[in-house]
Amino acid sequence: MAKFLLHSSFLIAAVLLAFFWTSNPFLSYYNLQLIAIFLLFFFINQIIARHHRAKINLTIDAVIFTMMILLLVISTGGLTSPLFFLIYFLMFGLALLFDPLISLSLTLAMVLFFLFTPSQTEPKNELLQLFSLVLITPVALFFGKQYLKVLQDEEKIKILEEEEEIMEEQIGQEESDVLLWTCLDLKKGLTGILDETSQILADVSHLNTRQKERILIIREKALKLLQSSQKLKEEVDKTTDED
C-alpha cells in the first residue's frame, strides 16, 4: 500500500507539473525543449545506472515518460492530438511495471488534466477521447493483474525447479553413500565371512556333518549376497550414467 501511494503521488505530481507548465503561455512555448531535456535526462539516468551496475529506478522513468507524453499530446492538439494513443501505451506500461491500480489513479488525474485544458475545437471528439481513456483503464488493470499472475506462476515454477535440483543432489548423495557402503563395508564384511568359512571348511576333521552343512549354507548365502551387491552396484552405476 505504501508503494502504491508513493508511486501514485509521483505520477500525479508529474501530471500537475505538466498542467501548470502547459497552462502558462510563456512556458508552454518551450514544450518541445522541455521534452528534449527530459529525454536527455532519461538517457543519462540509464547510462549512469548501467555504468555503476545499479538497479534502474522505474519510478523516475515513469515520471519522465508521463511528462513527455502529456507535453507531446498537449503540444499537438490535446484531446484531438494524433499522438493521443501514446497515453494508452503509458497506461498499459504502468499497469505492467507497477501496481495495476496505479492506472486507475493516473486515469483520474489525466481526466481532470484534460477537462481543465480542453482545446474546445471538437467537443464531441474530445468527449469520446476522454470516454475511451476511461474505458481503456479496466483493460489495463486486467492485463496488469494477469501479468502479475504470470510472474507469480513463474516464481512458483522457479521454486519447484530449485527444489528438484536439491532433490537430485540428495539422491546423488544417497547413491554415493549406497555405492560406498556396497564397495567398502558390505563387500568387506562378506569377503571376511567367506574367508572364515573357507578356513573352517579347510579343516573339517573336528566338524560333524550337520555343522558342515550349516557352514556351507552360510558360505553360499554370503556368496550370493556378495554377487547381488555387485549387481546392485552395476545397476546404480548404469542408472546414474543414463541420468
pLDDT of residue 15: 87
Q: Which DSSP string do the residues of the chain spell out, in sequence order? A: -HHHHHHHHHHHHHHHHHHHHHHSHHHHTTHHHHHHHHHHHHHHHHHHHHHTTPPP-HHHHHHHHHHHHHHHHHHTTGGG-TTTHHHHHHHHHHHHHS-THHHHHHHHHHHHHHHHS---S-HHHHHHHHHHHHHHHHHHHHHHHHHHHHHHHHHHHHHHHHHHHHHHHHHHHHHHHHHHIIIIIIHHHHHHHHHHHHHHHH--TT--HHHHHHHHHHHHHHHHHHHHHHHHHHHHHHHHHH-
pLDDT of residue 22: 84
Q: Is 99 exposed, middle or buried (0-12, 13-18, 19+ CB in 10 A)?
A: buried
Q: Mean pLDDT over residues 102-125, rounded?
A: 78
pLDDT of residue 183: 60
Q: How far is CA 148 from CA 7, 42, 55, 92, 128, in A?
A: 17, 26, 20, 13, 30
Lowest mean pLDDT, pick from 97-106, 123-132, 172-181, 220-229: 172-181
pLDDT of residue 60: 83
Query: Is pLDDT above 80 for 33?
Result: yes
pLDDT of residue 242: 57
What pTM, to 2 d.p., does this model score?
0.59
Query: Is pLDDT above 80 for 109?
Result: yes
Q: What percent of the chain has pLDDT over 70?
A: 63
| Domain coordinates in residue numbering, the chain | 2-121, 160-242
Q: Mean pLDDT over residues 183-199, rounded?
A: 63
Query: Is pLDDT above 80 for 124?
Result: no
Q: Mean pLDDT over residues 63-90, rounded?
A: 87
Query: Is pLDDT above 70 for 239?
Result: no
CA distance linking residue 145 with residue 128, whole number of Å: 26
pLDDT of residue 1: 63
Query: Is pLDDT above 80 for 7?
Result: no
pLDDT of residue 120: 58
Query: Is pLDDT above 70 for 177?
Result: no
Q: Mean pLDDT over residues 31-56, rounded?
A: 80
